[in-house]
Amino acid sequence: MSWDQEVAALFSDKSRESDPGDYELQTAKLRTPWLFRIWDISQKFLFLMGNMLLAKFQNANMPDHLISVLPNTALDPKKKPIFMGLSDKNHSFCCVKSGEGQPQLQIVERSILQLYQEKKELKPFTFYSKADGGPETCSFESAEFPNWFISTSSEPNRPIGLSPKESAENTLFFFERKDSYFMM
């Protein structure tokens, strides 16, 4: 499936629980985040080292690090807004300004399920996702900082960050959905 198809399925997931008396799709609740294995176009995978998310080449001894994804139903679904976090479901990606005023990506202790259930814009935690560069690759644009994308360095073992699309950093990613029911 292409990224756009994956996100469309996420927004219309039939494993949702509907709120009684409210028939709109946007009030339905997912029971668990979807999990994805994500790697950049240089074949560097996302790995957690301490409290930092790095991009590094995978070897046989390294376990997959999966990324949790849930839709942000408070924003326009045409932009495919999503929350992203670690597979532990207790840490989420957040976009903030550094001390120098530069947008940066942080992993913060905040439940991705709580973000999803709040039904608020929560732009620092939201990424607009889309198929980019082809159906098998995607990009993740910060809702808080338009035109800034999740990115990896061309060098391995460097932290994941935010970069303008025109930068030398990698902003395109491959993805593979994993079965979240066995990961709980």
Cα separation, 82 vs 68, in Å, equals 10
**pLDDT, tens only, 78-114:** 999 999 999 998 999 999 999 899 999 999 999 999 9
Q: Provide CB contacts within 8 A for 142, sequence distance 6+.
A: 95, 103, 126, 127, 148, 149, 150, 162
Q: What per-residue confidence (pLDDT) applies to 128?
A: 98
Give 3-13+47-178's CATH code, choosing from 1.10.10.60, 3.40.50.300, 3.20.20.70, 2.80.10.50.
Answer: 2.80.10.50
Read off the tokens for 73.
Answer: 């139903």
Residue 182 pLDDT level (bands cut at 50, 70, 90): very low
> What is the model's pTM?
0.87
Find how far residue 91's CA is from the centre of its chain: 12
Residue 104 CB-density burial (10 A; 0-12 exposed, 13-18 middle, 19+ buried): middle
Distance between CA atoms of 55 and 184, rounded to whole angstroms? 24
What's the number of CA atoms in the CB half-sphere (13 Å) around residue 157? Answer: 1
Chain-centre distance for alpha carbon 177: 12
Annotated domain spans of the chain: 3-13+47-178
- Convert the pLDDT of each residue in 31-49 to its tens digit: 789 999 999 999 999 888 8
pLDDT of residue 154: 92
Residue 138: which pLDDT band, with cuts at 50, 70 and 90? very high
Averaged pLDDT, 126-142: 93
